[in-house]
Structure 1
Amino acid sequence: MYRFRSFALAMLLTCYWAASGLADTPTKVLQPIDVATLKSVVAAEISPDGNWTAYLRSVPRRPMGDADGRSWSELHLLDAQGKSRGFIVGEVNINSVRWTPDSKAITYLAVRNGDKRAALYLIPVDGGESRRVLTHETGIQSYDISVDGRRIAYLAAQPKSADEQAVSEKGFNQEIYEEDQPATRVWLADVDLAATETQTVNGGTMLELTGSASFVQWSPTGRELAVVLAKTPTVDDSYMFKRVHVVDVDSGHIVQSIENPGKLGQVGFSPDGKHLAMISAADINDPHEGRLAVAKVPGDTSAADLMPDYEAHVSAFAWQDNSTLVWVADEREATRLGKVTVDKQVAQMAEPLDVIATSLSLDTAGQKAAVVAHSPRHPAEVVKVTVGDWQMERQTVSNPQLDDVRFAAQEVVRWTARDGQELEGILVKPLNYEPGRRYPLIMVVHGGPESHVPNGWVTSYSSPGQVGAARGFAVFYPNYRGSTGRGVAFSKLGQADAAGKEFDDLIDGVDHLIEMGLVDRQRVGITGGS
């Protein structure tokens, strides 16, 4: 009898622990409605003193509950211990977050409190309400704060002239294609960001610069501005012909022009104002900006590529000191962090990350960084990085419900095209994958072709990813020739060959999955977008 009771007790405990283990195993699968409710971090800015990180979280409207419209954009704040709190939340659209130089307040653009156009607001970190500090009749598009915190340089569309306004009010609404679009101008305004009472400045002084501006930044000296100008505000000029200039603040004149070729990404002064870094195309035929280059200020009329042999695409950078840049690059299906000096010495290169980093913000000391990053298991979140040892710590959890979701295996897959070109892509296997069994395939083709799909979060309203895998599909994202992430030469391989080898790459990728024994050749579908 004693042995029977001992056996019964042992069986009971075994069943209990087995049941407990099952309870800890995720049982849900990702549904389309779940994708429509996912939140994500879209921007993160660390404070100059490194004690805070302000970030923007995209919050979708409730499907079939809220009125139609874009997702809300909330402002949240992380302290040095990683504790997060909502700062401006709810039905709001906050963007272009910046810190004041003293780290005591956050500035942002928003349309609120009766605004007709986007205005500049400031909110103290230690409490208090937002106050509007700058407005403009056509709305503020972007801005930068001078180092002393007393002046704002900003971009806004040029207003209509008195004659244009008069005929418009009389009902004249003729549009001339690519000629009626107003140019974006650079404006300067004196704003006391340290004031404790609401003091709104209505508009500033326009600089008489030829062309349409897309970027402005103060030099740390306060005497110059970096301004990016294109001849016109048309799409073609904004893609292909943006050029970097240095403008003297007192005279309003261009004192240095840098002939960066082709497409242009991020631009930024060094802390001493003696260099301008930029993410540029290698030449006019380069499909995508991705070369980290530097020009001396004053003097240089071109920028020198700091890592000409690096077969990747730099996506973001920040100055660590007067001569060193920290950078993020897309390298094949991963991302990598590293450091390089203005004399082209690669000071450090971290191992490829376990997450896909898409932005970088560095404190003044150059030791703490905030990046926005996603992974195969979660959309974009804030990740804290220690510069040097590259230790990473996830700071936010925007979608705790994903802890209860079963995820299919996701991996990098490699194949050889018919002409011998080595290619890669992302494969999401069916959720309940069984070796030896063949499955239907959804191939998702990215647009561009100057883009690529990294090994991160690949599920969205137009990309089946984990939703397709949960329904028994294999989902394949080929990074065919012409994609980014593998340097300039690879990204040019698809040029002058429309629907040629790029298309063959897709077919060869599908054939590879069939040869692996994974895919049923009679059940292959294709989707994608440009």
Structure 2
Amino acid sequence: MTLRVPFVAIVFALLCPLSNEAYGHSFSVKDDIAMVRFSDPSFDPAIVGSEIARPSPHGDYVAIVTTKGLLATDEVESDLTVFRMKELSAFLDGEGTRPQPRIVASIVSYPHREQTISYAPVIKDLRWSPDGKGIYFRGENGSGAYQLYLARADGSGSHALTPADQSVDRFDVVADTVVYKVSMLVDKHRSEIAKINSDAFAATGARIQDVVFPSQLGTLEPEVFAISVLQHTNGRWFARRVPGDPSTEMTYLSALFPFVLSPKGHQLVAPMPVSTIPDTWQRFEPVTGSEYLRLLPGKDAQITNAGETLRPLQYMLIDLDTGKRTPLTDAPNARSLGYPFDNSRVAWTTDEKRVLATNTFLGTHDDNPLERNRPCGVASFDLPSFEPRCLFFEGKDLDRTAFHIEEVSFGSSDDEAIVTLTQRPNRRVTRRYRFFQDSWHLAGEDSAADIGTGSAGLVSPDISDVQISVRQSLNEPPKLWVSSRRTGKAREAWDPNPQLADMSFGEASHYEWEDKSGHHWSGLLVKPVGYQSGQRYPLVVQMYNYVDGEFTTDGLHPTAFAARHLASVGFVVLQVRRQVDTLSEADPEVHLEGYRSAIDSLAAAGMVDRNRVGVVGFSWTCWYAVNAIIKDPQLFKAATIADGLDNSYMQYLMFGAGSESLERQMEQIRQTAPFGHGLKKWVDEAPGFHLDQVQAPVRIEAINPLSVLQEWELYASLRLQNKPVDLIYFPHGTHIHQKPLERLESQQGSVDWFRFWLQGYEDPDPAKAAQYERWRGFAKLRAAAAQSYASPTGTTPAPSLP
């Protein structure tokens, strides 16, 4: 990790609008890795105003974080850049020159842990100091520790506030007090397997990764956290640890949960993991269709292990002076029971006598007993009595298109609550609730239709009329714009990627169709560079999801997906949004029809050659891709399967033991366990028993040792049957690839794979000679197999795999 603080501003040239006409070379995987991306602000269609930069408290500055990959060192660089608002305002009015960004801090490292997003930065969680002169942030060093930093907005310096061997996961700032959750790197792995003596362990009930790979899954390992406080007094920082036992937690989803310091800086509200599940918690209703998530005491003891991503959390009030921890309510946060669409948020009143918390169940109280088994969308808690009241309860059904909680705050008084709800892709509603007659009542509702005019995170209009935001589209890379909220006037202020003006891109557009069962499907269609109407191109179908309105490069994530890179070499690419899961065997069949109908639609339009179609399965959609190459062997002529479950027999045995939630998930899919009479149903339906049907060459990506076990049934079965299968292993990879060289092999390897099988093309790069020698062996194998099938006797012996 390197930290540098340049004092010279960098001026970037304007980027001309991109065109489908080639200016220089076509956009490649290496160009994608080197592309500068905005990390903060970061567009999320579920969060209104997420593309709008947050100015300093007094409106003097605005801070931006950008990130790019460095192939030469296999790291990423994140830069914290500051603009002066006066310069931006003058530029908007045509009275000044183009504003000059100032980099006030830069960190070069790489994300060491699993991330929930692509292109994860190593500078995270910006917080302006109350005086608006400094910016707190977490920066990840070369050892994987997130240190807490303070950078001066005027560019005069930046320094770490925490040691290099401590990793800060969350923090909050009030006045001169910083509270943070921190782990020691030496405590990163603590096995939960009981030691019997120096040569033996009791592994009963443990997960397979804890037994076989106790220290080899660094990206997934839980860490041991304590809470500490930093206070600035007499020009110096003093740190102290808050009393109380440390907690062992995974950081994978921690950013989704609040960590909120009280206005006076002596109390904290944060969700904390529970060690046991009370009997009363089994009454809380999981989301419809996910009964396996119900919190059953005893049987589900494994769900409380630190390695479980759905480990129940409980809102906790923590006294920072004494360390005393008191639950806000005797109930879990609702996310662990399958309610992911409502954000978890916390808000304090200024007198610290009332707290709002979202997306939580409530303990015993006088409300309707049917309602109190469902999640409370927004709950208030009076302190110190902890009396709960629910502003409104949620339903059990998941509906992405409904309004979901984005933010919560108090209004002009402690008896007014402001709830902001978002409806994808661009609707927002602000509801006002008032407290009277001992309960909350809806007092009004305001709507905003345009996501771009939202005021979330902005300095108040009486301070500045200027708004700084990131604008982009499917075909326009992100750039920084300055605009007036009053007049609507706007100008492009900064383009971090002027090099893209010299590249050609395949055009991306929305594509919709229906299958024969009436299911509606949507996707992003990326045409080849130089596309000519009437010419039929090879097609690659990538299924998982897409972000509407975001400049698309890989399609969604950089693990195996390579949309625009494939378009640069003559492919049509369709990035498909999968249907809502029902956790049944109907799911892969529905998605098989989605694949078929997409190919039919594009072939009927004269765009693609249905005899040259490939498929990419990533994560959950590996199940759908594997099912497709089994059930319809001629549909796809090549496939990539990247780090995902296919819910097969071996995966159940490997990972169900020790993970109650995964065990019950797979049993729900087939309505039985694979034992006794249930085994026949598994033999009939589980993919691993039908891999003899596969004819498509399959590229498999295994990411970390656990993933090798996950993909071994698919790989070994195809290998033992002498079918073309290539296994690519990333020993230290993350599910969503972050390191540049891992991205390069995953995405470029997938491009090379499809070009070989669908275009008959081999890259002349000498470094890839071994790859093509291996693949040519696969091709000979297929040809021999085809000859065998065509033989009248069918007795031609199959050759061995290379």
Q: How many positions carry a matched residue from both structures? A: 468
Give the letter for the 1:243 counterpart.
Answer: Q
User: Partner residue of 2:574?
Assistant: 476
User: Partner residue of 1:9?
Assistant: none
Residue 73 of structure 2 is aligned to residue 67 of structure 1: yes
Give the letter for the 1:351 counterpart.
Answer: D
Aligned partners of 2:171 and 2:178 also within 8 Å = no
**Aligned pair partner of 2:447 in 340, 348, 357:** 348
Aligned partners of 1:425 and 1:478 also within 8 Å = yes
Distance in 2, Cα, partners of 1:315 & 1:254: 25
Distance in 2, Cα, partners of 1:217 & 1:280: 16
Aligned partners of 2:260 and 2:270 also within 8 Å = yes
Alpha-carbon distance, 1:509 to partner: 2.1
Give the letter for the 1:397 counterpart.
Answer: D
Distance in 2, Cα, partners of 1:240 & 1:230: 7
User: Partner residue of 1:86?
Assistant: 103
Distance 1:504 1:471, change over 3 A: same
User: Partner residue of 2:67?
Assistant: 58
Alpha-carbon distance, 1:423 to partner: 2.0
Aligned partners of 1:135 and 1:202 also within 8 Å = no
Aligned partners of 1:481 and 1:494 also within 8 Å = no
Alpha-carbon distance, 1:443 to partner: 0.8
Distance 1:514 1:244, change over 3 A: farther
User: Partner residue of 1:423?
Assistant: 521
**Aligned pair partner of 1:225 in 249, 268, 286:** 268
Distance in 2, Cα, partners of 1:279 & 1:389: 38
User: Partner residue of 2:346?
Assistant: 268
Distance 1:481 1:346, change over 3 A: farther
Give the letter for the 2:82 counterpart.
Answer: L
Distance 1:351 1:91, change over 3 A: closer
Distance in 2, Cα, partners of 1:347 & 1:22: 38
In structure 1, runs of 5+ residues without a counterpart are: 1-20, 282-290, 483-491
Distance in 2, Cα, partners of 1:373 & 1:22: 14
User: Partner residue of 1:285?
Assistant: none
Residue 296 of structure 2 is aligned to residue 300 of structure 1: no
- Aligned pairs for 1:316-395 (under 5 A) are 317=407, 319=409, 321=411, 323-326=417-420, 331=424, 334-336=425-427, 339-342=430-433, 343=442, 345-351=444-450, 361-363=457-459, 374-379=472-477
User: Partner residue of 2:156?
Assistant: 128
Give the fraction of aligned pairs with identical amino acids, expressed as a percent.
18
Distance 1:431 1:497, change over 3 A: same
User: Partner residue of 1:156?
Assistant: 183
Query: How far does the alpha carbon of each residue in 1:304-351 deviate from its partner, in whole angstroms, 9 at most, with x for none?
Result: 36899872575954759563355665x2xx455554445485412223
User: Partner residue of 1:36?
Assistant: 33
**Aligned pair partner of 1:454 in 548, 554, 563:** 548
Name the TM-score, length of structure 2 as normaliser. 0.50
Query: How far does the alpha carbon of each residue in 1:424-449 deviate from its partner, in whole angstroms, 9 at most, with x for none?
Result: 11111233333333322111112xxx
User: Partner residue of 1:27?
Assistant: 23
Aligned partners of 2:228 and 2:239 also within 8 Å = no
User: Partner residue of 1:413?
Assistant: 511
- Aligned pairs for 1:190-205 (under 5 A) are 190-192=230-232, 196=235, 199-205=236-242
Residue 139 of structure 2 is aligned to residue 110 of structure 1: yes
Query: How far does the alpha carbon of each residue in 1:411-469 deviate from its partner, in whole angstroms, 9 at most, with x for none?
Result: 211111222122211111233333333322111112xxxx5443422213533322222
Give the letter for the 1:229 counterpart.
Answer: M
Give the letter for the 1:122 counterpart.
Answer: L
Distance 1:352 1:227, change over 3 A: closer
User: Partner residue of 1:5?
Assistant: none
User: Partner residue of 1:246?
Assistant: 317
Distance 1:438 1:275, change over 3 A: farther
Give the letter for the 2:73 counterpart.
Answer: A
Aligned partners of 1:271 and 1:321 also within 8 Å = no
- Higher normalized helix content (fraction of residues): 2
Distance 1:27 1:318, change over 3 A: farther
Aligned partners of 2:314 and 2:327 also within 8 Å = no
Aligned partners of 1:133 and 1:191 also within 8 Å = no
Larger deviation: 128-137 or 407-416? Answer: 128-137
Aligned partners of 2:222 and 2:248 also within 8 Å = no
Residue 259 of structure 2 is aligned to residue 216 of structure 1: yes
Distance 1:89 1:175, change over 3 A: farther
**Aligned pair partner of 1:47 in 56, 67, 78:** 56
Aligned partners of 1:41 and 1:57 also within 8 Å = yes
Aligned partners of 1:327 and 1:339 also within 8 Å = yes
SS of corresponding position for 1:140: strand
Alpha-carbon distance, 1:102 to partner: 1.8
Alpha-carbon distance, 1:388 to partner: 9.6
- Higher normalized strand content (fraction of residues): 1
Distance in 2, Cα, partners of 1:293 & 1:370: 31
Query: How far does the alpha carbon of each residue in 1:387-420 deviate from its partner, in whole angstroms, 9 at most, with x for none?
Result: 7999877654221122333333322111112221
Distance 1:255 1:369, change over 3 A: farther
Which gives a bigger RCO, structure 1 or 2 (Cα 8 Å, sep 6+)?
2
- Aligned pairs for 1:270-285 (under 5 A) are 272=350, 274-278=354-358
Give the letter for the 1:253 counterpart.
Answer: R
Aligned partners of 2:539 and 2:572 also within 8 Å = yes
Alpha-carbon distance, 1:74 to partner: 1.6
Aligned partners of 1:134 and 1:201 also within 8 Å = no
Alpha-carbon distance, 1:106 to partner: 0.8
SS of corresponding position for 1:375: coil
SS of corresponding position for 2:539: strand
Distance in 2, Cα, partners of 1:91 & 1:211: 28
SS of corresponding position for 1:433: coil
SS of corresponding position for 1:269: strand
Distance in 1, Cα, partners of 2:487 & 2:348: 23
Aligned partners of 2:475 and 2:552 also within 8 Å = no
Name the TM-score, length of structure 1 as normaliser. 0.72
Residue 322 of structure 2 is aligned to residue 256 of structure 1: no
Aligned partners of 2:147 and 2:166 also within 8 Å = no
Query: How far does the alpha carbon of each residue in 1:226-275 deviate from its partner, in whole angstroms, 9 at most, with x for none?
Result: 21122368576433523333334455221513643234554232564645
